[in-house]
Amino acid sequence: MSEPDRLLVLVRHGQSDWNLKNLFTGWKDPDLTPQGVAEAKSAGEKLAKLGLKFDVAFTSVLSRAQKTCDLILAGVGQPDLKTFKDQALNERDYGDLSGLNKDEARQRWGEEQVHIWRRSYDVQPPGGESLKDTVARVLPYFVQAILPRVMNGERTLVAAHGNSLRALIMVLDRLSPESIVKVELNTGEPIVYRLRADTGVASKEVLSG
C-alpha cells in the first residue's frame, strides 16, 4: 500500500488595505487591495501548475484570509471545497496598537518599545497578544483539527496570517522562540510541506516569484 500524501500548504493572505497603509491590523478586518487579490490568484495558479488539489481547507474568521482562501481554491478548480473557519487561526491581536500607523506608534511609545512589541516572542502590546500567546491559541487547534487530517492523507490548505502561520512554522520547522520572530512571510506566497509518518517534515518548498 502506498504512503498517504501528507500535504500541508500554508499561505499568508494577500496584501490588505492596512498592510498597504502600514497600519497594525491584528483582529481588525480590512479588505484585500487589488494587489492582494492578484497575489491570492497567483498563489492559486502556482499550486495549480504543480497539479495540487486539496481535500479540505482552513482559514480564520477574518475576511482577508477567507478571500485569499476562496481565490486560491478557485485557482486550483475547487471553489466549493469544504472550508473550516475558526478564530483560532486569526492574526495576533495587537490590542491598543490595532489601527495605528506603525510610524505614529513609534512616535508615541518610542522606536525601541514598538520594536520589542513587534519582534519579541513573549512581550504583549497594551491590551494585545504576544507571539507566545498566539502560539498558545493556534497550536491546540492545529493539533486537534488540522494535523489529524494531514496525517490521514487529506491534502490540506491553511490560508491565514503572518503570526498565526509563524506559530505553525515554529513547530513544523522546530524553531526556537528567538528564531521564529525573525521569520518573514510574504503575502500570498504558498509554503508546501509534506510530512513524514512521525509528523516530521519530509520536504518544504516555498513557491516564490
Instruction: List the catalytic residues.
Output: 13, 91
Residues 62, 161: contact at Cβ < 8 Å? yes
Grid coordinates representing 120?
519579541
- What Cα–Cα distance (Å) separates residue 41 from each residue in 34, 57, 76, 98, 205? 11, 16, 10, 27, 19
Q: How many CA atoms does the CB half-sphere of 44 hold within 13 Å?
A: 20
> What's the burial of 83, exposed, middle or buried (CB within 10 Å: 0-12/13-18/19+)?
middle
Grid coordinates representing 93?
491581536
The C-alpha R_g of the chain, in whole angstroms, comes to 17
